[in-house]
Amino acid sequence: MMWIKICGIRDVETATEVAQLSPDAVGLNFYPKTPRAVASETAAEIVTSLPHGLEPVGLFVNRTAESIHEICRRCTLRTIQLHGDEPPDELAKLRGFCEDYRIIRAYRLGPEGFSALAEYLDRCRELGVELSACLIDAHVKGKYGGSGRTVAWDVLRKQYDRERWPPMILAGGLHPDNVAEAIRAVSPWGVDVASGVESTPGQKEISLVERFIAAARTAFESVD
């Protein structure tokens, strides 16, 4: 499987240019404390502009299930990426609002390893919440993603329980010059990039997006 997401799209023009490069998904960031934040009105326009088959993903940090559902309703979003400290009970509430939601849980990998993630996923199973994927990012104090810091690829490859846990999306410090190496080292289900294809924070550089997608596709084909 090969899944490539370009995260932090903020306007229709950039969304159109990125869409022409045929990633699998684009991310719309609703966390206000980031240069990649997008207003819900603009996000709705972006979603409408996307071609069929290109998946829009709403990224949220520590919002209530009610707030997330309302934004998703306004923007016609069905895939949700949670980057904060949302407990499994909030995920269950989201599923209560809409059974069709696809939920991606982000986990920031630090020195403690995967013990907290294992407990979290066990609780999700107890509540009947099936996650679509887990996105693994680097743990950087005070940040919920977009730090540009890479994950410990060797730890990730050895310790991520692919048999019991959801499909793995690799994030954290990826860019056109290292994404192929990362894919070969980790063999993830998908990859996610934000800062690694930007000229300045929040501003996508289309040539970098094009190089990233090409390198990722080539690498995915070589490990299949």
pLDDT digits (tens, 9 = 90+) for 3-31: 999 999 999 999 999 999 999 999 999 99
Domain that holds residue 87: 3-223
155: tokens are 């730890």
Q: Which of 31, 37, 5 is nearest to 18 (CA)?
A: 5
Query: What domain count does the chain have?
Result: 1
pLDDT tens, 171-213?
999 999 999 999 999 999 999 999 999 999 999 999 999 999 9
- Per-residue pLDDT for 224 more than 80? no
pTM of the model: 0.94
Q: DSSP label at 37?
A: B
Contact 5, 135 (CB under 8 A): no
Q: Find the CATH number of the domain harbouring 22.
A: 3.20.20.70
- Per-residue pLDDT for 127 more than 60? yes
Catalytic residue among 75, 124, 137, 192: 137
Catalytic residue among 7, 75, 124, 134: 7
**pLDDT value at residue 139:** 61
Residues in the chain: 224
79-104 in b/e form (b: 16+ CB < 10 A) is bbbbbeebebebbbbbbeeeeebebb
Contact 18, 206 (CB under 8 A): yes
Tracing tokens 């991606």 back to the chain, one arrives at: 104
Q: State the DSSP string of 67-132.
A: HHHHHHHHHT--EEEE-S---HHHHHHHHHH-TT-EEEEEEEE-TTTTHHHHHHHHHHHHTT---S
pLDDT tens, 86-114?
999 999 999 999 999 999 999 998 888 89
Q: What is the mean pLDDT of residues 67-81?
A: 97
Q: What is the mean pLDDT of residues 52-64?
A: 96
17: tokens are 């240019």
Position 140 confidence tier, pLDDT thresholds 50, 70, 90: low
124 given a catalytic annotation: no
> Using H for helix, E for strand and C for coil, what is the string for 160-176?
CCCCCCCCEEECCCCCC
Q: State the DSSP string of 187-223.
A: --SEEEESGGGEEETTEE-HHHHHHHHHHHHHHHHHH
224 given a catalytic annotation: no
